[in-house]
Amino acid sequence: MAPTRVRVAGGLALVLIAALFLAVNLIVQVGGAGLRLDLTERQLYTLSPGTRSVLDKLDEPVTLRLFYSATLSNQFPAIKTFAGRVTELLDAFRRASDGKVRVEIIDPISYTTTEDEAVAAGIQGNDTPSGESFYFGLVGTGPIGGREVMPVITPDRESFLEYDFARMIVSLTAERKPVLGVISALPLDVGFGGPMAALRGQSHPFAVYSQLSELYDVRQMAPDFVEIGSHVDLLLIAHPPRLGPQQLYAIDQFVMGGGKAVVILDPNAEVAMQGAQRGAPPPQTASDLGPLAAAWGFKVDTEKVVGDGDLATKVTVAGNRRPMDYLVWIRAGKAQMNTADIVTGDLNQVMFATAGAIETLDGATTTVEPLIETTANAGTFNPVAVRMTGNPEDLAKLFKPEDRRFILAARITGPAKTAFPDGPPKVDEKDQPNPPKPGEAPAFGARERAQVTDANLNLIVIADADVLDDRLWLQDGGPGAGRQQQVPIADNGNLIVNAVENLAGSTDLIAIRGRGPASRPFTVVADMKKAAEQKFLTRSQELQAKLQATEAKIQDLRGGGAASGAIVSAETEKALADARAEVAATRRQLRDVQRSLDVDIERLEANLRFVNMGLVPLVVALVALGLSLARQRRRRARRGVN
C-alpha cells in the first residue's frame, strides 16, 4: 500500500505544480503585465529619469504610429530583432506615461490602404528582393495639431532611440518654436554679398543658418544689444564681434539664469576673410568671449592653431602635381567623435580649418567633456605663421607633434559663478547706443534685474568658425543642379543642428544620453581570435621569409653554374635538391599553419556552442537531478524514522 500512496501523492503533487504554474502565469498576465526585470549591463530596457520626467509632464495624449512591415520581416532577421527592441521601447513609453502615449503598430502590406497611408505620412519605403517595399518609420501626432515624422528607423541610431522618441513627444506638445538668438560677426543670414545682393539672389544665407531657420524662430541680435530678453530660449554665439561690457554682462546673466548656448570661437577664421574688400579694414579673424570663458572654466587660445599629421586634408598646390597634407585642415572621423553623446554620436566626419583648441583652466568648477578630438599626432602653429605661410610643405617643416590630443569641440557642464562678481559693469549713459532722453529711465534693462551670481551650466563649445563655411562641407550636386541641390561631403551642418537641438530641448531631454547597442559582441572571443591570428601570422611571416631565402639560394646556385659555363658539380646538385626539398617542406608548413588557424577558430566556436547550448542545460539538469535525489533520500529517511 505504501508504494501506491507514494505514487498517488506524487501524481497529486504534479497536478498541483501544474495548477500553480498556470495560476502564476494568469496572475502575471492579468495583474503584472507591466512588471519586468532589466538585467542588462547598460539598463537598455529601463527608461532614464529624463524620459520619465518628460512623460510625467504630459497633460494631453500623444499618438505614436509605428509603420513596420512585419509581414516582410522574415527576409531580414537582423531588422526583425531590432524591430522587437523598438516595439519594446515604445511599449515602455506607453506604460510609463499611464496611457498618455498611445502606440499603434501598423503593417503596411503592399498594395493595400495601409501602404498608401504610410506613403502619405512620409514613411520611406525600401525595395526588397521580392519587389515589395519595406517600411519602418514612426509618425507622431500631438494634441494641438503637431506632427513629427521619422521616415526610417535604422539600427545605427539604436543608441539614441530613447532620446529621439522623447524629443518627438516634447516637439508634439510644444506651443511654439524655440527662439534662437544669434550673435555673430559673420553675415550668416544673408551671406557675404550683403542684404541687397541677397534680395537680387546674388548672395545666400549660410546653409547651416537656413537649416536652423526651418526648425527654430531664429533672431539676429542687434549689433548694439544690451540685454537678452526672456523670450530667447537659446543663444548661438558664432565668431562673435568684439563685445562691450554691457553685452558680455547680458550674455553672462542669460547663462546664469539657466539659458543654454552654443559657442563657436576661432583663433583664425578663414571664413571671415571671404567678405574682405580691397581698401576696407581687415576682417576680424580671431574671436573670444573675454572674461566669460574664464568664468566658465575653459579657454580657446587665440595664439594657437591646431594641426594634425594623421587627419590632414590632401590639397594640390600650383606648380606641384603631387597632393600634399595641409596639416591645419583637419578631417575628424568617427574615431575622433564622442559616440556616447547625442550631439556627435551619429556623425561620421567633420571638417575643420585652422581650428583652435579648447583647454580646461586650472581650478575650474565645470567639466569639459570632449565631443571631437584630434589624434595624438597633433601640434600647434601660430596663426600669423599660418596666414603668412601658404605652402603646406613649409607648414610641415614647422610642425612639431606634441603627443597629445587637442579638443576641437566640447560640452561644458557643472557649477560656475558670474564673470561680474562686483555687479553690473559701470557704464556712462552717454556711452549707450541709445542714451535715454532727459527725464526717461535708463534703457539698460539688465541693471533693472537682480543679478544672478551662480548657476549650473550646459554649453557646447566649438573651436572653429569655419565649420559653418559652406565651401568646407558642401559641394554642388552636379551640372544644372543649382544651389538648392548641394550635397554634403561632411557632417558640419549636422554638428551645429544637433548641438542646437540638444540644448534647445528641455533640461529633461539634455539629461538623456546615448546608451550602448543591445547587441553585445563576444569581446573575449574576439580577443582570443585576434591573439590566435597574430600568433599564426608571426609564424607565417617567419616561414615566408625562410621560403624567400631558400628560393634566392636556389637562384644563386643556378646562376653560379651558368655563369662559369662548367658542369654543375655533384655538391651543387645535392644543394639544389636539398633547397627544393626545403621549399616544398616550407610550403607544407605554411598550409599547415593556415589550416591550424582555421581549425583552432572553429574549435573555439564549437566549444562556445557546446557551453551555451549543451553544458549549461546539462549543469541545470544535473543540479535538478541532485536536488531530486536529495529530496528522495530525505523522504526515505523520514519513513525509516516513522
3-class SS string, 552-574: HHHHHHHHHHHHHCCCCCHHHHH
| In the block, residue with C-alpha cell 562678481 | 421
Q: What per-residue string of b and e applies to 506-515 under the rule 16 or more CB within 10 Å gives b?
A: bebbbbbebb
Cα–Cα distance measured from residue 439 to residue 419, given in angstroms and rounded to the nearest whole number: 32
Contact 395, 327 (CB under 8 A): yes
Cα–Cα distance measured from residue 459 to residue 358, given in angstroms and rounded to the nearest whole number: 13
Cα–Cα distance measured from residue 68 to residue 571, given in angstroms and rounded to the nearest whole number: 78
Contact 218, 180 (CB under 8 A): yes
What are all long-range contacts of 326-333, with beta carbons under 8 Å and residues at least 24 apart? 326/392, 326/395, 327/381, 327/392, 327/395, 327/396, 327/399, 328/353, 328/354, 328/355, 328/381, 328/386, 328/395, 329/353, 329/354, 330/306, 330/355, 330/374, 330/408, 331/490, 332/372, 332/373, 332/374, 332/408
In the prediction, which pLDDT does 632 show?
Answer: 77
In the prediction, which pLDDT does 144 show?
Answer: 77
In the prediction, which pLDDT does 443 show?
Answer: 45
In the prediction, which pLDDT does 421 show?
Answer: 94
In the prediction, which pLDDT does 49 show?
Answer: 86
In the prediction, which pLDDT does 492 show?
Answer: 95
In the prediction, which pLDDT does 287 show?
Answer: 95
From-to residues of CATH 3.40.50.880 in the chain: 179-273+283-423+451-504
In the chain, what's the furthest Cα-to-Cα distance? 122
pTM (2 decimals)?
0.66
Residue type, 205: P
Low-confidence ranges of the chain (pLDDT < 50): 1, 30-31, 33-34, 441-447, 479-484, 516-520, 562-565
pLDDT tens sequence across 572-585? 777 777 777 877 77
Q: Which phi and psi angles does 69 have, rounded to 5°?
A: -80, 75
3-state secondary structure of 337: strand
From-to residues of CATH 3.40.30.10 in the chain: 49-171
In the prediction, which pLDDT does 516 show?
Answer: 47
Report the run of H or E that residue 267 belongs to, with start and end. Answer: none
In the prediction, which pLDDT does 358 show?
Answer: 97
In the prediction, which pLDDT does 575 show?
Answer: 73
Domain 179-273+283-423+451-504: CATH class, spelled out: alpha beta
The domain 49-171: what is its CATH number?
Answer: 3.40.30.10
In the prediction, which pLDDT does 406 show?
Answer: 98
Contact 506, 172 (CB under 8 A): no
pLDDT tens sequence across 312-321? 998 887 666 6
Cα–Cα distance measured from residue 83 to residue 94, given in angstroms and rounded to the nearest whole number: 16
